[in-house]
Amino acid sequence: MRNAGALAAAPPVSDAPGDRVSLVELVWLGVYWFATSFHWGALLTVVIPAEVLRFVPESQKGVYLGLLLSGGAVMAMVVAPISGALSDRSTLPMGRRRPFVLAGILVNCAGLVGMRYAPTYAWYAGMLVLVQAANNFAGGSFNGLIPDKVPPSQRGLTSGVMGFMMMMGTVSAALVAGNLVGRGQAAAVYFIVAGVLAACAGAMAWQIKEEPLRAAPPFALTEFARSFWIDPRRYPDFAWMFVTRGLVMLGFYTMITFLQFFVKDTLHLTREQAALTTGHLSAITIASGTGMALLAGWISDRIGRRGIVSAAGVFLALTSVGLLTQPPYSTLVWIAVVFGIGYGAYTSVDWALAIDVLPSNRSAAKDLGIWAIANTLPQVLAPIIAGPILDSFNRRTPNLGYTVVFSGAIVYVVLGSILVWKIKGAR
C-alpha cells in the first residue's frame, strides 16, 4: 500500500484537448448556461418563495421553504455524478454528452408543467424533486463537454463566457419572473422557463459536435461504484476545491433562499410587491457582474486563479455585511450593485479553477458531477439549518432572524475564501 505522502504527491492525469475552440463555439456552449441560469434564476429567487406562501402559513414559511428546496437538492446530488459517469462511458452515435442533455431537458420541462398545476404543497414538492433530478441529469453530462473540447489555455476565457451567459440568464429571469409574479401571473413563468430551456438546449445540441466514443471500457459494477470516491489524500487539491466551494455556496444559498422573505418583512411589502422587488434586485446584482465575469476569467488565464477567487469571496462577505443593518430599498440597490461585481468574478474563475484540478479528463463529467455536490449540498443544508433559526428568532423579535442567519452566511463565505490558498497545484 502506498503511503500518504506518495498519495498526496500523485499528479492528476492530463489528457486535455490541444486544439483551441472558436469564440462561436464558446457562445453556443454558453447558450445552455444561459438557459439553466434563466431556469433557476426564475424559480429559486422569485417563483418558489412566492408559491410557498400559497400553500403554508406565514409563520412557518422558513421551515417549509427549507424542506422544499433541500428535498430537490438531495436528488440533484445523487443524479449529477451518475449522469456524468454514464456519459463518460457512452458510445451513442450522437456523442457522449448531448443525448443525456436532451433527455434530461425533456423531463425537466414536463416537471415544470407539473409544478404549474400542483394542487397541494406535497404535489408541488414532488414535481420540484423531478425538476431537480432531470435538470442535473442534463447538467451532469453537459459539464463533460467543456474538458472534452476546451484546452487549459482557454479555460479562463471559457469560464468568463460561462459566467457572462449565466448572469445574462439570471438577469433576464429575475426581470421576467419578478414582473409576472408581481402582477399575480406566476403560472405563466413555468411555461416561459420551459420554452427557454428547450429552445436553448436544442440549439446547443444542434451546433456543438462531438466525436462518439468508439468503445466503452469494460463495465464492473463494483469498480463503477468505487469510481465515485475521489481520495482526498491522492487528490488534495480537488478535495480543497470541494470544501471551499461548499462553504462559499453555503453562505450564498443561506442569503438567497430567504432574500424574498427578507425584502417582504424589512420593507413591509405584500407578497406580490416582494416578488417584484426581489426580481429587480436580483437583476441589478447580476447585471453589475456580467462584465466582471468576462474580465476576471480572461485575466485568470494570465495571472492565475486562486488570488482572484479568494479576493472575490472576501469582497462578497464584506458587501453582505450591509444586509445586517436591514437597510432601506435605496441602500439595497447599492449593495446589489457591489455584490454583483464580486459575484461575477467569483463564479467565473472558481469554475475554471475546478477544471484545473480535476483528477482526469477521461472521467471529467463524473468528477465535475461530484464537484457539483459542493454546489447542491449547500442548497440542502442552508434552508435546513437557517429556516428553523429564522422562524425562531423572528418570533422573539421581528426580523431578528435575518440578522442571525445572514451573519452565519458571512462567516461561511470568509472561511471558504481563505481556504482557497490550500489548493497548491494551481496558480
Q: What is the pLDDT of residues 147-181, one digit of tens each?
A: 787 777 777 777 778 778 887 888 888 889 888 98
- Would the pTM of this model clear 0.75, i.e. be above it? no
Q: What is the pLDDT of residues 274-321, one digit of tens each?
A: 888 888 888 888 788 877 877 887 788 888 888 888 999 999 999 999
Q: According to the model, what pLDDT value does residue 6 have?
A: 33
CA contacts within 13 A on the Cβ side of 165: 18
- For residue 193, being part of any structural domain is answered with yes
- For residue 6, being part of any structural domain is answered with no
Q: What is the pLDDT of residues 342-390, one digit of tens each?
A: 888 887 788 778 878 878 766 766 777 777 778 778 877 888 888 889 9
- For residue 179, being part of any structural domain is answered with yes
- For residue 16, being part of any structural domain is answered with no
Query: DSSP 3-state assignment of 96?
Result: coil
Q: According to the model, what pLDDT value does residue 199 have?
A: 96
For the chain, what is the largest distance between any 2 Cα atoms, rounded to a whole number of angstroms?
65
- For residue 137, being part of any structural domain is answered with yes
Range of the domain at 63: 21-212+231-422
CB 49 within 8 A of CB 334: no
- For residue 136, being part of any structural domain is answered with yes
- For residue 219, being part of any structural domain is answered with no
- Nearest Cα neighbor of 160 from 173, 146, 148 is 146
Q: Where are the beta strands (DSSP E) in 351-410?
A: none
- For residue 10, being part of any structural domain is answered with no
Q: According to the model, what pLDDT value does residue 212 have?
A: 74
Per the structure, the count of domains in the chain is 1
Exposure string of 135-165, with b = 16+ CB inside 10 Å and e = fewer, is bbbbbbbbbbbbbbbbeeebbbbbbbbbbbb
- Report the percentage of the chain scoring pLDDT > 70: 91
Output the domain CATH number for residue 270. Answer: 1.20.1250.20
